Structure 1
Amino acid sequence: MSMNRNSNPLREYLLEGPLEPILNSIPGGVFAFAPEKGFVPVFVNRPFLEMMGAESAEMLRESVKGDYWQMMHPDDVETAKAVYARVSRVVGDQDHFECRLVTQSGRIRLVRIIAQAQIDRKGRLLLVNFVVDLGMQNILDAKSHMDAQTGLLKMHAFFSLMTNARRQIESGSEDRQLAVLFFDVINFRQINLHYGVAAGDDFLNAIGKILQMAFPEFGTARFGGDQFAVLVDNRDLEERANHARTMICQIAPSSVDCSVGACAWDDAAINPEEVCNRAKLACDENRKHVNTFFSFYTQESGKALKIAEYVASHVDEAVEKGWIQVYYQPIIRAISNQICGMEALVRWIDPRKGFLFPDVFINVLEETQQIWKLDLCVIRQVIEGIAEREKQGAPDIHISVNLSRVDFLCCDIFGEIEAMIQAYDVSRGMLHIEVTESILTSSETKIFQALDRFRDAGYEIWIDDFGSGYSTLNLLKDYDFDVLKLDMGFLRKDTPRSREIVSSVIAMDKKIGGLTLAEGVETEEQANFLKKSGCDFLQGYYFSKPMPYDKALRNCMEKGATVENVEQKPYYDAVQQVNFMTDLPLMLMYGKEASNRKQ
């Protein structure tokens, strides 16, 4: 079979579909054959010929004397036939196997072949094969280097692959440039939550196969969870990454997407792990921009990476030396315009790096599973402050603290807080526990067990960032909470529709016995609208920006606010659970239950 380099014989056989753009551009090995004609390729691409050491398709045919099974080691033929028979049963199905190819020179190449069944333009079955050379990967001990779930490389095996690939390219005559693509699945937990863990595993396996087909030139790795890395030729990165993302989204629920970061490996002095970190950082940059799913690593990203590395390696020192400071933002009760609480917010004041805001260090510490150290440091300062103010006879003000998902998984967060509360003899009612909506969509039972312990002990549970995720109604139905904090992204575009949504959420919360807090209130107009809508608590720069406790309190009081008497809290909370937005006559009665205890 002769092959013209400028022609595309496979186009004669394949329907135009999702594979065609990939087959026209990928540098990895590809061959296809029609089972009804036997194992006789109707198409082979140039990289596959190079892999086999053949200058042309005709030369390949002559070297095997027309029997293409001779391309494979005899011991692997039956495995290949079994896979082909299985894949042939369902159009669109695919499977993979590893085998040894025998090149023209007699050299043995260990490869992975991904076979997929397609229908050609004449309605005949065609098996398309994507060939990945495993010889470069140095992973003959496959079990110890492969992810058990997906069959992809593990992270450290991927680093070895990168090193070997660079060494081979630099020692050869090929002028190829390398890059790493980092894929992160957005909202993957929604699949586990709504469809089950088995469906989540199947989805991860499917992503692995898509990435192997889309980028077969070197190798693909799973970096844990829902994150993947691919070593590729540095060409058309954005176009190819977006095509892979499209294929992933086609098999995903509408709430699930994919973010991609790219980093060129143009400096041999940079080690593989650093290249992957840079690609991941570029991927993380997408979060900062609406509807952005692909980013290149830049010098600005590099500065952020250095800060991230500093944060991860200095958090213990920061906690020990007092660089972690608590700032407070007042919470105003809408019905009385009184200060009824404060939220504890963290700042990192570093002698070398200066004033670090949370968006610089929070994500880093969560990803490195060190955020619990920071949170316990903040909570200790908060409880110490409550105890000290009680000694001084200052007004009691409730404080809410934020807990991360990592806190529940990396330490006994309930036990740690209980120990502090008892050590400083502080009432549990003075400390409120804030958790984000995303935590409550987790499948870890350990989190819910800890939250139940908090509630049973007398702590209030607040849900932060309500409305920012995809499981809002399920949260209202499935979990009992005290205060719902509205994500004020609803009002960033202040339209009649957005206001209607906010009013509806507030009314719905009252119907199920909850209270609402709107954070991010920046203008008098927003504050007045929220009060009229029945919102119970207000928080934001309109009242005070986060400051040290005394400054925040003084700043808010200078604007006319007073401090609520802590004994009035039960009364106000009960009153605010009533929906005043009604046309029916309304009468409120408040009283105390008589004691039945014997004196």
Structure 2
Amino acid sequence: MAPHSPETASEQSLQLDTAHRYISRYAGCWLQSCFQPIFYRSGGVFGHEALLRVHDGDGRAIRPDVFLASLAPAQQLEADALARLLHLRNYAASGEGGCLSLNMLPLTVMHEAGNAAHYPQLLQRLEALGIDSGRVVLEVVEYEVEEGEGALSQALRGASSAGFGIAVDDFGAMASAHGRVRALCPDIIKIDRSLLLDYMHGDNGRLIAVLRLGWEVGSRMLVEGIETAEQYHAMAELGVELYQGFYMGRPDFLPVCREV
């Protein structure tokens, strides 16, 4: 690692809790990893999305986005690197297979694209942890991705060229620009729950259009926020491949099966 990289400081701040899971303290708060499963239509596990959990010194939960937004940009980079390291170590310790989806700040994606040594170092880290880099998916929210040749789009393509999967999250949460997806061709499009709810209430235009777009560009389609059997079966009838939501599986800690 470069001597002043955010991940160098991250390594030094890791601790093990009483369950032997990795945790860390940052900016007066405790950071933890939990993981929500992602399922195939058949019911098999495709992988897990890593989720950050933040608690203040009194044990009160803080929304991760609120916590990160409270930090200066340099601290956001450090906190994001720390969260990623926690997720990687805890996932490796669980011995789980399948894909691991990591949420990343756009600031982080662009910063790391400017560091020529970053992706080789990350690949070495994954190899040391026993995680196949082809199983790691980097996830950004759709409305952060620019049209055309914006800096974030180029940075994401750089990550893809290094062998990582790319996922566009919350597609449809805001006024979605299909041109962004056509230009990026992400491996996975995560359809926002609002489109699912519209479909269940009879307004199926937006969801059908997004599915057609994804299939056209070759993306795997994932519906978020599945909370009932009715919703699951409705999406299955449309041919959606991947599913995430409380009906399928809630975020939770993973068991520790080996030392890493």
Give the TM-score taking structure 2 as reference length.
0.76
Cα distance, 1:409 vs structure 2: 4.4
1:533 aligns with 2:235: no
Change (3 A) 1:534 1:514: same
Letter matched to residue 348 of structure 1: V
1:348 aligns with 2:54: yes
Cα distance, 1:339 vs structure 2: 1.0
Task: Please name the residue that 1:339 is paired with.
Answer: 45
| Alpha-carbon distance in 2 for matches of 1:519, 1:538 | 6
Q: 1:402 aligns with which of 98, 103, 122?
A: 103
Q: Contact between 2:28 and 2:56, CA under 8 Å: does it hold in 1?
A: no
Cα distance, 1:416 vs structure 2: 4.0
Task: Please name the residue that 2:69 is paired with.
Answer: 363
Task: Please name the residue that 2:170 is paired with.
Answer: 465
Q: Could you give the per-residue CA deviations for residues 16-69 of structure 1, whole angstroms, max 9, x where no partner exists?
A: xxxxxxxxxxxxxxxxxxxxxxxxxxxxxxxxxxxxxxxxxxxxxxxxxxxxxx
Q: Contact between 1:403 and 1:435, CA under 8 Å: does it hold in 2?
A: yes
Change (3 A) 1:369 1:518: farther
| Alpha-carbon distance in 2 for matches of 1:324, 1:413 | 27
Task: Please name the residue that 1:483 is paired with.
Answer: 188
**RMSD of aligned residue pairs (Cα, Å):** 2.8
SS across alignment from 2:77:
helix
Q: Could you give the per-residue CA deviations for residues 64-89 of structure 1, whole angstroms, max 9, x where no partner exists?
A: xxxxxxxxxxxxxxxxxxxxxxxxxx
Work out the number of aligned pairs and report it: 228
Task: Please name the residue that 2:121 is paired with.
Answer: 419
1:549 aligns with 2:254: yes
Letter matched to residue 164 of structure 2: Y
SS across alignment from 1:484:
strand
Cα distance, 1:353 vs structure 2: 5.0
Q: Contact between 1:383 and 1:420, CA under 8 Å: does it hold in 2?
A: no
| Alpha-carbon distance in 1 for matches of 2:73, 2:35 | 26
| Alpha-carbon distance in 2 for matches of 1:502, 1:428 | 31
Cα distance, 1:417 vs structure 2: 5.3
Letter matched to residue 530 of structure 1: M
Change (3 A) 1:420 1:513: closer
Cα distance, 1:424 vs structure 2: 4.3
- Pairing 1:200-215 to 2, within 5 Å after superposition: none
SS across alignment from 2:84:
helix
Change (3 A) 1:443 1:369: farther
Cα distance, 1:400 vs structure 2: 0.3
Task: Please name the residue that 2:31 is paired with.
Answer: 324
Cα distance, 1:411 vs structure 2: 5.0
Q: Contact between 2:34 and 2:51, CA under 8 Å: does it hold in 1?
A: yes
Whose Rg is larger? 1
Q: Contact between 2:56 and 2:62, CA under 8 Å: does it hold in 1?
A: yes
Cα distance, 1:491 vs structure 2: 3.1
SS across alignment from 2:58:
coil
Q: Which structure 1 segments of 5+ residues have no match?
A: 1-316, 552-599
Change (3 A) 1:534 1:344: same
Cα distance, 1:327 vs structure 2: 1.2
SS across alignment from 1:441:
coil
1:511 aligns with 2:212: no
Cα distance, 1:525 vs structure 2: 0.7
- Relative contact order, CA 8 A, sep 6+: which one is greater? 2
- Pairing 1:383-462 to 2, within 5 Å after superposition: 383-389=88-94, 394-410=95-111, 412=113, 415-416=117-118, 418-425=120-127, 426-441=131-146, 445-462=150-167
Q: Contact between 2:49 and 2:101, CA under 8 Å: does it hold in 1?
A: yes
| Alpha-carbon distance in 1 for matches of 2:170, 2:138 | 14
Q: Could you give the per-residue CA deviations for residues 330-370 of structure 1, whole angstroms, max 9, x where no partner exists?
A: 00111x211111111111122235222224324334x7563
Letter matched to residue 331 of structure 1: I
Q: Could you give the per-residue CA deviations for residues 455-476 of structure 1, whole angstroms, max 9, x where no partner exists?
A: 1111111111111233422123
Task: Please name the residue that 1:223 is paired with.
Answer: none
Change (3 A) 1:550 1:320: farther
Q: Which structure 2 segments of 5+ residues have no match?
A: 1-23
Q: Could you give the per-residue CA deviations for residues 422-477 of structure 1, whole angstroms, max 9, x where no partner exists?
A: 03413211210111112212788442332122111111111111112334221233
SS across alignment from 1:318:
strand
Give the TM-score taking structure 1 as reference length.
0.35
